[in-house]
Structures are given as C-alpha cells and as structure tokens.
C-alpha cells in the first residue's frame, strides 16, 4: 500500500478560503465520539478529518471540496454546522 499525500494534491486546486467564517464546524463532543469521527476520517475525499499519534483530532475546512460526505454521515451527530461557503468562497474547479 503506497502512502498518500492528500494535502499535496489539494495544493494544486484553486481555493478561496473564507478566513472569517468556517462553513463546517465540529461539535465539542467530536473527540469522544470516536466511531463517528472515524467515519469522517475514512470517507472525506480531501482527508480533512485527522487524528494525531496521541489521538487528538484535527480538522481544517480550508481544503474542503464541498461534497457533503461529512454532512450525510455525521450531520446529526458530531457536526455543529454544515453550510455551503458564502458566495464566491470555497473550491473553484477549473476543469471539474
């Protein structure tokens, strides 16, 4: 199994990140709900849901592809908020 560097792939994409407003926010309980968080680690195509060696969770909405996978899987459990980024912000597919 080869290792994968998703961040390097995402760095080729064009993003307009809205630094003022996170369009996805995790709930406080996300760290303790590990089975729910694991779903997002597996399914997010941008690999934005991460866990470090000590088990601490990490999430950054900046590389979001706006697919909605996390909303479908965990919208009712560990996501506080899932919205589309405000107009003009977010991923901009040049080819799509």
User: Among 21, 32, 67, which residue's Cα sits nearest to residue 48?
Assistant: 67
What tokens were used for 96?
């799509």
Which residue in 19, 28, 53, 93 binds other proteins (CB under 8 A)? 93
Closest contact distance (angstroms) between CB of 31 and other proteins is: 18
Please tell me whether residue 13 binds other proteins under the rule CB under 8 A: yes
Which residue in 44, 57, 78, 79 binds other proteins (CB under 8 A)? 44
Specify the 3-state DSSP secondary structure of 26: strand
Of the candidate spans 25-33, 52-60, 75-83, the one that interacts with other proteins by CB under 8 A turns out to be 75-83
Going by DSSP bridges, is the β-strand pair 14-16/90-92 parallel, antiparallel, or unpaired? antiparallel
Burial class (CB in 10 A: 0-12, 13-18, 19+), 37: buried
Instruction: Give contact residues for other proteins (rule: CB under 8 A).
Output: 1-4, 6, 9-10, 12-13, 16, 38-39, 41-47, 65-69, 71-73, 75-76, 83-88, 90-96
């Amino acid at each position: 199994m080869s290792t994968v560097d998703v961040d390097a792939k995402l760095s080729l994409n064009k993003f307009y990140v809205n630094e003022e407003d996170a369009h996805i926010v995790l709930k406080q309980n996300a760290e303790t709900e590990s089975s729910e968080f694991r779903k997002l680690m597996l399914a997010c195509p941008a690999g934005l849901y991460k866990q470090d060696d000590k088990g601490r969770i990490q999430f950054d909405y900046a590389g979001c592809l706006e697919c909605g996978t996390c909303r479908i899987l965990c919208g009712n459990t560990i996501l506080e908020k899932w919205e589309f980024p405000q107009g003009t912000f977010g991923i901009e597919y040049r080819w799509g």
